[in-house]
Amino acid sequence: MRRRIFLAAAIISVSGLFCFGQTESLRDYVGLINQTFHPDIVAYLGKSKADFERRGNADAAKSIDDYLKGGSGTGFVYVAPNGANYVITNHHVITQSYDISVTFEKQDGGKITYGGLTIIAADEEMDIALLAFRGGGGGGGEPYPKGLTFLDRPVAEGEDVFSAGFPGLGAVTLWQFGRGMVSNVRVEFPVNDDTTTGRIMGPYIQHTAQVDPGNSGGPLLVRDEGVPTGYAVAGINTLSARFRQAANFSIPVDRVNAFLSSALGPRPEDERPRLDARVGAFTEGLGESRAVYEHIAKYLSNACIGENAEYALVETLRKANRTVQDDIIRAFVHSPVEGMGYAVAWTIENALRTRPGRISVTVDSTAPNNKNGFTVVFNVNGSTISSDWVNDYGIWRISAFGDFAAGNKTLVEERDRAERDAKRLITDYSFQFSAGLAVVLETGPAFGADFKFRTGITGYGLKVYTGGKEFFQGETTAGLYFPVRMKKAALTPYADFGLGIAVKEPAPRTPNPYDPLPEKDMGFAVSIKGGLMFTTSAVPGLFLQAAYQHNFYIGDIKGIKPGLLFFSLGYGF
């Protein structure tokens, strides 16, 4: 009995060591994928982080800082028959990347990192990407004599499967080796739950091995004692169902092999058919009877997003409706680059949608350009718009679209300058004062002053004119102001109505002891005034005005002409 117990214990110990060794060897081939973003994206997020820090929002600043460290996922080593080294992962793991690295972590904590990985090929629909080591891909500098072995048979329902990768735990990524079983050998489902289009995702292997955020791109494995690691690749872990327990999905290895055959096979001599198909899908989506910025975003290159995001985000927050703004903000919170892409796409849609209803788009011409891509000219609702397309690792994407998504940095500078000028160009005063020359027609010059309290387009106040001892007129006024703003200047036509008194030195009379001369002629004054104010952003608050005022005098006032010109310099705030 004791002998049997000892033998069982020995078997368990050896088995544990064997599994330990297999997991350790898998770590040599399953790595953590890290990406960094386009420099323009990094620069914009850096500005946003600084703004949050100035406002005391430390949490928002930290979230951007964490994001700037780069997205991550999992990938595994594949060595082609010719010895070329590659890393296979999901396309969505590297879709926003500008620079990519992979890190392999040993059980003792030691790490080895390979930077400067290049994207050899990618399939957006299948969600697979093939990366080469720096100087690799058959070009020398291959660090691996062998990679993981692919399974040469279909998996079976109920069969044990294993996941390997680097899911996140907060801001930390940790190695995880999980176990489950195949629950469905072939799963297909509609794209975005839309059963009307007929577009299908899959087929996938559904299984219960642990797949958490960060596992994407890692291998789905089955035991195979005939290969060096003891495990063979049955698929690529890609999706995990929400609100379902242990419902995870992997791209089966036969689809991976088909992708590799296409990616590593001879390149087509003519890229036009692939470009035309991509452009066709793009224009078809533009014709939908709904907002299409999410559709447009799928076709934008990282460079297009990075170069135009700063301008586009502010434009959407100014001009887009609340639904669009909320959608972009949600996307930005989930992934800043995705939110930026939505914003750039919205600026494109907003420029294309010149009238209500569907966007009518046709292709006028397609021709090679000097940017290693093609220029596609669209006819949009009767107007032509040019776009540049670039082959982004086998996927044709938009690098520039019209003048509104062409990476024009001066647009941001011009808008910032316009904002500064708009703030300095004051037209809606709370209080204004002006003083200057009043010319009483056919009588002579006088001094005039005008005080106004303003609310919106209305103004209330007091104005006085005086010609020394010979003439005085004071009124309360009420008027309307209609500012017309230009880039750096504004004209404000206005009209007001006045009611007050007028006092004038009396005209000479024959002395009469029974009719003594009054010291002054005095009466009521009713006036209608129309004028024009001119102001610029050069000196905020300062304005010039010119006006004509027609007076109606009631009482013992003679010798004053009813017309009056007023030229003044004023200031308001």
Q: Of 37-46, 133-142, 389-398, 455-464, where does mean pLDDT reach its minimum? A: 133-142
pLDDT at 11: 30
Together in a domain, 284 and 403: yes
* Beta-bridge mates of residue 88: 76, 130
Domain membership flag for residue 7: no
- CATH number of domain containing 523: 2.40.160.20
Together in a domain, 259 and 121: yes
Tokens of 569: 């310099």
> Which of 222, 239, 264 represents a domain boundary (last residue)?
264
Is the pLDDT at 210 greater than 60? The verdict is yes
The closest of 124, 407, 406 to 277, measured between CA atoms, is 124
Better pLDDT: 337 or 156: 156
Tokens of 241: 């169902």
Query: CB atoms < 10 A from the CB of 261, how many?
Result: 9
Together in a domain, 459 and 330: no
Residues 540-565: tens digit of each pLDDT: 999 999 999 998 988 766 666 788 89
pLDDT at 194: 56
Q: CA separation (Å) from 291 to 77, 125, 190?
A: 41, 22, 21
pLDDT at 45: 82
Together in a domain, 392 and 513: no
| Bridge-based pairing state of the strands 200-207 and 176-190 | antiparallel
Number of domains present in the structure of the chain? 3
**Contact call for residues 386 and 373 (beta carbons, < 8 A):** no
Together in a domain, 457 and 343: no
User: ∠ CA(567), CA(526), CA(495), 5° rounding?
Assistant: 50
pLDDT, mean of residues 421-430: 88
Together in a domain, 380 and 281: yes
The secondary structure of 467-483, three-state, reads CCCCEEEEEEEEEEECC
Residues 326-383: tens digit of each pLDDT: 888 888 877 888 888 999 999 999 988 877 778 889 999 999 998 889 999 999 888 8
Better pLDDT: 115 or 55: 115
Residues 460-472: tens digit of each pLDDT: 999 999 987 678 8
Is the pLDDT at 479 greater than 90? The verdict is yes
Together in a domain, 158 and 29: yes
Is the pLDDT at 10 greater than 50? The verdict is no
pLDDT confidence tier of residue 515, bands split at 50, 70 and 90: low
The one-letter amino acid code at 41 reads I
Q: CA separation (Å) from 201 to 125, 194, 250, 307?
A: 8, 11, 12, 32
pLDDT, mean of residues 146-163: 95
Environment class of residue 254 by beta-carbon count within 10 Å: exposed (0-12), middle (13-18) or buried (19+)? middle
Together in a domain, 189 and 111: yes
Q: How far apart are CA 486 and CA 532, in angstroms?
A: 15
Together in a domain, 84 and 197: yes
Together in a domain, 253 and 285: no
- Which SS3 state, helix, strand or coil, does residue 212 take? coil
Residue in this structure with the two tokens 């609702």, named with its chain if needed: 381
Domain membership flag for residue 441: yes
> Which of 351, 381, 416 represents a domain boundary (last residue)?
416
pLDDT at 13: 34
Domain membership flag for residue 464: yes
How many angstroms separate the first and last alpha carbons of the chain? Answer: 101
Residue in this structure with the two tokens 């791209």, named with its chain if needed: 251
125: region left, alpha or beta (phi > 0 left; psi from -120 to 50 alpha): alpha
Residues 273-290: tens digit of each pLDDT: 989 999 999 999 998 888
Looking at every residue in the chain, the average pLDDT score rounds to 85
> Which of 230, 264, 298 represents a domain boundary (last residue)?
264
Domain membership flag for residue 32: yes
Residues 301-341: tens digit of each pLDDT: 988 888 888 888 888 888 899 999 888 888 887 788 888 89
Domain membership flag for residue 422: no
pLDDT, mean of residues 25-31: 91
Is the pLDDT at 70 greater than 80? The verdict is no
* DSSP state letter for 60: H
Burial of 384-393, coded b for 16+ CB within 10 Å and e otherwise, reads ebbbbbbbbb
Is the pLDDT at 1 greater than 50? The verdict is no
pLDDT at 197: 55
Q: Of 59-63, 135-139, 144-148, 313-317, where does mean pLDDT reach its minimum? A: 135-139
Domain membership flag for residue 426: no
Is the pLDDT at 4 greater than 50? The verdict is no
| Domain around 480 | 431-572
Q: Of 43-52, 314-323, 517-526, where does mean pLDDT reach its minimum? A: 517-526
Instruction: Write down the pTM of the prediction.
Output: 0.67
Together in a domain, 89 and 192: yes
Together in a domain, 412 and 453: no
Radius of gyration of the chain (CA): 38
Cα torsion through 426, 429, 430, 432, rounded to 10: 120
Quote the longest CA-to-CA distance of the chain.
154
Domain membership flag for residue 376: yes
Residues 240-253: tens digit of each pLDDT: 887 778 899 999 99
- CATH number of domain containing 158: 2.40.10.120
Better pLDDT: 354 or 2: 354
Domain membership flag for residue 11: no
- CATH number of domain containing 289: 3.10.450
